[in-house]
Structure 1
Amino acid sequence: MATKGKDFAGLSVALVTPFKDGEVDYETFRSQIEFQIEAGTTCLCPVGTTGESPTLTHEEHERVVDFVVQTAAGRIKVMPGVGSNSTAEALRLTKSAEKAGADAALQVAPYYNKPTQEGFYQHFKALAEETGLPQCVYNIPGRTGKNIEPETIARLGELENITMVKEATGSLDQASQVLASTNLTLLSGDDSLTLPFMAVGGEGVISVAGNIVPKDVIALVEAAARGDLHAACQQHHKLFTLCRDMLGLATNPIPLKAAMQMLGRDSGEMRLPMTPLDDAGRTKLKATLTAYGLL
């Protein structure tokens, strides 16, 4: 059976949301989108964790999705984060993204309220059946508080509109189990696990590092896809050092936004409760970016 969601294989970038004086900075946002299109990125994923969706109002959320879709203008796929811990709210956001012209929907597992596995199934089933967009199930128990078990994902994979899973459990065993029991396109949710996941059948990544080095992430994904293990390993080790020394400094997207500010691509501004990287972190980050050749 052909893999569902295969047209989203490759690099998807979890876009930051740029701010200026407390408001979304659409001028900077446009340049960031164009940067990804020029790099050859497959898909843009706005208003996710990296996009600080928890501190956007629903009105801002919908406007950002509409802006990204309109700016992309069919030149690149758009899969916004539209998940919620309320099924009704996730459905409303998904329908809004569908109306805006998004290509797919990234659905984070309901968080905080910790549904049962049957609750997870019924949540994603409702989203898949009540909207026309392909759905990507986003499993990140480190943030949501509960894992969507592989058996539940296998059940979900039987539904027509559920075509992808963003695997951010950090478990190669879980990724392997999902791949063995479904025909979903599996995308890594962790930059450092892209190569291991692709080695067992994954088809790409929804990347944070892709905000600053998309061509390097694409080189890794393409080498892995064609079976060039030597080239893929070289890119993996290069990117691993960057991701470890950058993203390990603080909660995402704090160090990423600091890096983009240093590179002249973002103001670095965030909304509370997210706070800027401290001076010691910025010193380490500058050294990391310099060693990588970005500064």
Structure 2
Amino acid sequence: TTSDVDKRRILETVLETVGDRATVVAGAGTNDTLHTVKLAKDARDSGAHGLLVVTPYYNKPPQEGLYRHFVQAAEATELPVMLYDIPGRSGVPIATETLIRLAQHERIVAVKDAKGDLFAGSQVMNSTDLVFYSGDDALNLAWLAHGAAGFVSVVGHVVGSELHRMIDLHRAGRVGDALAVHRQLLPVVDGIMMKAGGAIMVKAALGMVGQDVGTTRPPLVDADEKQNAELRACLVAGGVKLTDS
């Protein structure tokens, strides 16, 4: 629900705020290839360090259409591209064979996986140099175990330091300790991702930890009293310190 002007303003604000402390990857994907190319160029011109390009949604292109769409996005700028595979929202997955083809492009370097097919992801990682990131907070630890580099997380807006710790522990071979963090965060994932949709609930959660991020935009609606109460209980159970209670 953000306009092109909104996207540019958000990106420029983030870049100004974080400076050189982080790599900023800008969302540039739509279900219109020409519009995606425009957004990619806008992000490049604003100073983004990379692009996140989602599978075209609603129009359900065939695999050859997906391939051409992603290649055109990658050709639009010199920035590295992370593909976003989320068939639950787009209606069509990026097939393993298509990912392997796309990996041959020098600027297509990573995948945000919200498809949840760990075996297929393992096959792609075994056959290419694509770097995988979990795009499903329920599977964060599972993706690490299968070779993913990290997460592109919704709950990370609230528990980012804990997720960072999980990654560090897993990389250090302390798998049991990483599992303990995963289990600690299960109520947080449940409260934000499983109740009323991540965008709605993460906004509510941010308000509970002292971050005023405003309301949702239509067609989304804000969490109601019952949802907020359930979310608050989940956050407390996951060890999150609230500031609104």
TM-score, with structure 2 as normaliser? 0.95
Q: Show the counterpart of 2:230.
A: 284
Q: Show the counterpart of 1:271.
A: 217
What SS does the corresponding residue of 1:212 show, helix, strand or coil?
A: helix
Q: Show the counterpart of 2:162.
A: 216
**1:233-244, aligned counterparts within 5 Å?**
233-244=179-190
> Aligned residue pairs: how many?
241
Please state if 1:165 is matched with 2:111: yes
**Candidates 240, 246, 253, aligned match of 2:199:** 253
User: Greater relative contact order (Cα 8 A, min sep 6): structure 1 or 2?
Assistant: 1
Please state if 1:178 is matched with 2:124: yes
Please state if 1:65 is matched with 2:1: no
TM-superposed CA distance for 1:202, in Å, is: 0.7
Contact 1:258 1:268 in 2 (8 A): no
Q: Measure the CA separation in 2 of the matches of 1:281 and 1:161.
A: 42
Contact 2:51 2:80 in 1 (8 A): yes
Q: Measure the CA separation in 1 of the matches of 2:45 and 2:71.
A: 20
What SS does the corresponding residue of 1:213 show, helix, strand or coil?
A: helix
What SS does the corresponding residue of 1:275 show, helix, strand or coil?
A: coil
- What do you get for the CA RMSD once the two structures are aligned? 1.2
Q: Measure the CA separation in 2 of the matches of 1:236 and 1:290.
A: 15
What SS does the corresponding residue of 2:161 show, helix, strand or coil?
A: helix
Q: Show the counterpart of 2:33.
A: 87
TM-superposed CA distance for 1:268, in Å, is: 4.3
TM-superposed CA distance for 1:249, in Å, is: 1.1
Q: Show the counterpart of 2:140.
A: 194
Q: Measure the CA separation in 1 of the matches of 2:29 and 2:157.
A: 22
Contact 2:78 2:107 in 1 (8 A): yes
Contact 2:191 2:201 in 1 (8 A): no
**1:45-64, aligned counterparts within 5 Å?**
55-64=1-10
TM-superposed CA distance for 1:227, in Å, is: 2.0
**Candidates 91, 94, 100, aligned match of 1:145:** 91
Gap runs ≥5 in structure 2: none
TM-superposed CA distance for 1:267, in Å, is: 4.1
The residue type paired with residue 266 of structure 1 is D
Contact 1:260 1:268 in 2 (8 A): no
Q: Measure the CA separation in 2 of the matches of 1:151 and 1:120.
A: 12
Please state if 1:128 is matched with 2:49: no
What SS does the corresponding residue of 1:253 show, helix, strand or coil?
A: helix
What SS does the corresponding residue of 2:147 show, helix, strand or coil?
A: coil
Identity %, equivalent residues: 39
TM-score, with structure 1 as normaliser? 0.79
The residue type paired with residue 87 of structure 1 is T
Q: Measure the CA separation in 1 of the matches of 2:93 and 2:105.
A: 20
